[in-house]
Amino acid sequence: MIRPIFLPALFLFYFSFVALAQPTQKPPLHGKHWMAITGKPLAATAGAMIFQKGGNAVDAACAMLAATCTMWDVLSWGGETQALIYHPRLKKVIGINALGFAPTGATPEFFKSKGYEFPPEHGPLAAVIPGTFGGLCYMLAHYGKLSLKDVLEPSIEMAKGYPIEAQTANSMESARNKELMKKWPYSAKVFYPHAGEKREAPQAGEIFVQPDLWQTLNKLVEAEQKALRQKKSRKEAIMAAYDRFYKGDIAKEFVRGCREQGGLITLEDMARWKVIEEEPLHINYKGIEVYKLREWTQGPAMLQALNILEQFDLKAMGYNSARYIHTVYQALNLAFADRDFYYGDPYMPPQEPIVGLLSKEYARERAKLINPDANDPHMGPGDPYPYEGKKNPYAALLKKWNNPGEGSRPFMPVHDTGSVAFADEEYMQRLWAGTTSVVSADAEGWFVAITPSGGWIPACIAGNTGIGMSQRLQSFVLDSSLNPFNVMAPGKRPRVTLTPTLALKDGKPFLSFAVQGGDTQDQNLLQFFLNMVEFGMTVQEACEAANFNSNQLWLSLGGTKIKDRQPRPGEILLNGSTPDSVKAQLKKMGYHITTRQRTSGPINAIYYDRKHGTLWGGSSNHGEDYGIAW
């Protein structure tokens, strides 16, 4: 039975005051007609330009996606795109799966023969099929209003030359990235226009020119415009550009450049890949329907955590009290243990038990495992199969996971049982790696949330396309004992961290929100959501509010050895503003604490104020993310 928690009223008042009384560092956005928020100020401007042309929120989101790719905002055109769209006329949420699959020849045996325990994190062998352009075309053709020419116009102008910002320019110049990218001739050509000089990458404010990408984007518009001249429909014309990218001269050059540098992608892989439109998953949390993409993302982990936390009176605990942090941490550990064992590509066998994982009954049983007084370093995956009337085909493997002495790879490494290595910089980079976010909304009722990623710096550019290849192959496992559902196979999609979110209330849009940051994404989005729903914060307050990160999970990115990605039980990252009294209580509960001033990637969100019929926008102060509204 779950024990009730009672805290002194003064203690609760203190935490409520801290949460709600502090002014935000960035003002909230307010809009009546539309709102566009993404990872770079210029990219938000691209979204605003499209709205001014008469586009809807899907058109604007596609323009922002294109601009962030062109600006290398920790992604490029060769990456992957994950989106949720609320369709106001159909009154439903639509999921877009534009994640590439593993190419021909990408097998566990191939990578194990090269000494890898996980696929590589950089270079041509890390690439899945590029999905972002296909996803953009699909969303635009089916749910947008404008032409591809209109939507790509800002990006084409930027590829011709735009003043680069310091973050990206300095990332190019960093010693680690430069050492890698100068090995790849097409990357060196693009990123180091001052080769041989003291600084080889562009300087902040310098006009950064990408002639190969400019040519590629123009070819795509040419394909659309040619189809329109042939009296094709708007949708057919956009898909003609899609075909040129995946089956025409662009595909041929991309594949040639990939394989020249040692990659595996074939023309047949490019032609065979398709965007998948899917029914997203959702649960009801206290009257709010929360939507996530399917279990090829980590998104359902947030839904599982919400189901577990529904069993507790979080508001009574107080915002970021020790009891609150402990309870949310434990719920996340339970959800991520299931993620690490059960999530994978639902479009290839074996079939994931997602019905059981998201059942309220399963959540109630999982919630009973939470010790209110101490962290459990041995939390492992549960057995959801009985909750969908089935027998677990991996019961023996599950038993080994949850009993470290039985000879399989345990969830919690045996050598870490008593002591935990504190978070180091390399580990944190793996935990927080990559991506950006795009959210948009309009007065008609379209709401969009996208978490695109892949092809980030250090990017390996494929031939003379100007397109950086994805690095997402690294999110597969090579050994079924680590996750029987996410073992690499040609044509299969890896389980990714990328996780946009939409929430509805009374069947109408309530929130669109997304964040960057690898395995921390659903941790931070969960806390953002609770900040608004449980603690009454405004959307901007919730974006900036102090939160925490758990390291008690298997990392999805970085490193090529088991030890690089193993869980760190009890390790927690707290915000620097956390009171000493809270830290002391958490230490008594068995936590190993590190602190930082910023404990989240930038959260971007749009809230629909139904009382006034207006839009509120939030964009945290943790990066370069920016929004524009009207």
Mind listing the pLDDT tens digit for each residue in 215-247? 999 999 999 999 999 999 999 999 999 999 999
Give the per-residue pLDDT at 621.
85
Q: What is the DSSP-derived secondary structure letter of residue 407? A: S
Tokens 């919730």 locate to 542
**Has residue 190 been placed in a domain?**
no
Q: What are phi and psi of 613, to 5 degrees?
A: 65, 35
How far is Cα 452 from Cα 449, in angstroms, rounded to an integer?
10
Higher pLDDT, 23 or 384: 384
Span 552-557, average pLDDT: 94
Residue 426 has pLDDT above 80, yes or no: no
DSSP summary character for residue 513: E
Read off the pLDDT of residues 454-474 as tens digits, 9 standing for 90 and up.
Answer: 999 999 999 999 999 999 999
What residue spans of 144-298 are helical by DSSP H?
A: 148-160, 166-173, 175-181, 185-191, 211-229, 234-247, 249-260, 267-272
Q: Round to the nearest angstrom and report the end-to-end CA distance of the chain.
A: 51
Assigned domain for 207 exists:
no
Beta strands (DSSP E) in 358-480 are 438-442, 447-450
Domain that holds residue 617: 279-431+497-629
pLDDT for 390 beyond 90: yes
Q: Is 451 helix (H, G, I), strand (E, B) or coil?
A: coil
Is there a domain that residue 135 lies in? no
**Residue 624: its pLDDT value, please?**
87
CATH code, 382 = 3.60.20.40
pLDDT at 608 over 90: yes
Q: Is residue 90 part of a domain?
A: no
Helix or strand holding residue 317 (H, E): helix 314-317
Q: Does residue 362 belong to any structural domain of this protein?
A: yes
pLDDT at 73: 83
In this prediction, residue 434 has a pLDDT band, given cuts at 50, 70 and 90, of low
Residue-level pLDDT at 118: 94
**Number of structural domains the chain divides into:** 1
Residue 598's pLDDT is what?
84
Q: What's the mean pLDDT in 477-504?
A: 97
- Answer with the residue of higher pLDDT: 73 or 235: 235
Residue at 355: amino acid letter: V
8 A C-beta contact, residue 83 and residue 450: yes
580-588 and 322-342 helices cross at what angle (nearest 10)? 50
Q: Tell whether 288 is covered by a domain.
A: yes
Flag whether 173 is in a domain. no
Quick one: CA dihedral 39, 42, 46, 51, positive or negative?
A: positive
Vertex 569, ends 565 and 570: CA angle to 5°?
Answer: 135
Beta bridge mates, 496? 297
Give me the pLDDT at residue 419, please.
38
> 322 lies in a domain?
yes
Task: Quick: pLDDT tens for 98-143.
Answer: 999 999 999 999 999 999 999 999 999 999 999 999 999 999 999 9
CA 115 to chain centroid, in Å, comes to 28
What are the distances in angstroms from CA 150 to CA 35, 144, 214, 452? 18, 11, 15, 21
Burial of 52 (0-12, 13-18, 19+ CB in 10 A): exposed
